[in-house]
Structure 1
């Protein structure tokens, strides 16, 4: 029987996005590092993700999370720009007050083609990028198990991709993807995809034990 493609999407740990009043990607907070270590320990203990390839968004918060996981699992990480969060363009480097003013005017549910700042992606561009990247990965690693350390928005886009939702509209439902949570998609024998689990972050719950 032909092996089926497995996809694990892992959100990064809590990130620091504000320093000295400036918004940027400053990597993980201390809590984010702790969250990533708890996930690493879970994966080492349980062996539940036996990935043939590990991929990470090249944004610092995802890269740092992936490096912590890789340290425990003794795996190599491939950085892939296409799994970055929605690109904010010139919003990066702004002071918080200026960005808050832009956010107050930005309503992507009403107009999905609007962007937060110059050079930033809008929602359809983001969905197209992530969907194209997923399609590329599935062709490249057909029948393999792939784990991708990425972002909440990328995981949102995976639902649009697999459920065939309109890429020109934001989803009617909201997602609240936990930091370092695991989302698992599996390709079935009939070539359809199934959602095995979403938002599995039980390693963050007290003193969880994994077997």
Structure 2
């Protein structure tokens, strides 16, 4: 059974976020840029100030997620554990296209079965399912902080909150700016948001558009 309290964090900023180009697995080794390093320290300080019971820090295998997770882990005095299954959506044939196409050509992502997905890549439903399976593997009795990616976070939130993925994808409140965090609490089998895509801890510093990658 998954833990009763969960923090989800989008990785801090990279140069690819600034260029607003979809990278997918080709950007797995993209590092944080200098502003992203500052964002990572700010989210780390914010989480440390919460004095969470039995914190545990997990990260997507992608470099930018691990680099964001490390200051958090250092601030909490715990290691970073790479968690398979929480990496970003694979945009398939859309690699190299601008973020803007996610809005102007979103209709082309609807598949014949009604799901939303990238040609040659993953569907949002698939991403939400693999992310949720990863969360279900986490041991009870800890407070997990999972550093992931924008599109993957929207997908798993739709799954955890029981929302149609297309609705969550279209709602700005689920879109995480770099280094934003979501806090969820579980009651029985149901998850409830305490806060969604919160970036108040960044103190108004520059943020990129809340897209995927």
Q: CA, structure 1 residues 79+165, in 2 after alignment: closer, same or farther (shift >3 Å)?
A: same
Match of 1:9 in 2: 8
The answer for unaligned runs of 5 or more in structure 2 is 206-213
| Structure 2 residue aligned with 1:134 | 135
Answer yes or no: is the 8 Å Cα contact 1:185–1:196 preserved in 2: yes
Q: Give the unaligned 5+ runs of structure 1.
A: none
- 2:78 is the alignment partner of 1:75: yes
Structure 1 counterpart of 2:40: 36
Q: Distance in 2 between matches of 1:101 and 1:35?
A: 27
> In structure 2, do the counterparts of structure 1 residues 39 and 170 end up closer, same or farther at CA, with 3 Å as the change threshold?
same
User: d(CA) in 2 for partners of 1:121 and 1:22?
Assistant: 14
The change in CA–CA distance for 1:5 and 1:100 in structure 2 (over 3 A counts) is closer
1:57 and 1:156 map into 2 onto residues whose CA distance is 15
RMSD: 3.3
Which residue, 131, 149, 152 being the options, matches 1:151? 149
| Residue 57 of structure 2 corresponds to residue 59 of structure 1 | no
Give a deviation string over 1:26-83, Cα, whole Å, max 9, x none: 2211111111111222333x13434442110111111110112222322111102200
After TM superposition, give the deviation of residue 185 of structure 1 in Å. 0.8
Q: Which whole-Å CA distance do the structure 2 matches of 1:78 and 1:5 have between them?
A: 19
**Alpha-carbon distance change, 191 to 9 in structure 1, aligned in 2, over 3 angstroms:** same
Which among 163, 166, 171 is matched to residue 165 of structure 1? 163
Give the 3 Å change call, closer, same or farther, for CA 114–184 of structure 1 in structure 2.
closer
CA 1:79 to 1:104, structure 2 compared with 1: closer, same or farther past 3 Å? same
CA 102–180 in structure 1, closer or farther in 2 if over 3 Å, else same: closer
Partner of 1:86: 89
TM-score (norm 2): 0.73
Higher Cα Rg: structure 1 or 2?
1
Find the aligned partners of 2:118 and 2:44 in 1 and give their Cα distance: 34
Task: Please report how far the alpha carbon of residue 124 of structure 1 lies from its aligned counterpart in structure 2 after TM superposition.
Answer: 2.4
Question: Structure 2: how far apart are the matches of 1:147 and 1:16?
Answer: 24
With over 3 angstroms needed to count, the CA separation of the structure-2 counterparts of 1:5 and 1:40, relative to structure 1, is: same
SS in 1 for 2:85: helix
Is the partner of 1:146 in helix, strand or coil? strand
Check 1:47–1:114 CA distance in 2 against 1; reply closer, same or farther (3 A cut). closer
Deviates more, 1:145-154 or 1:50-59: 50-59
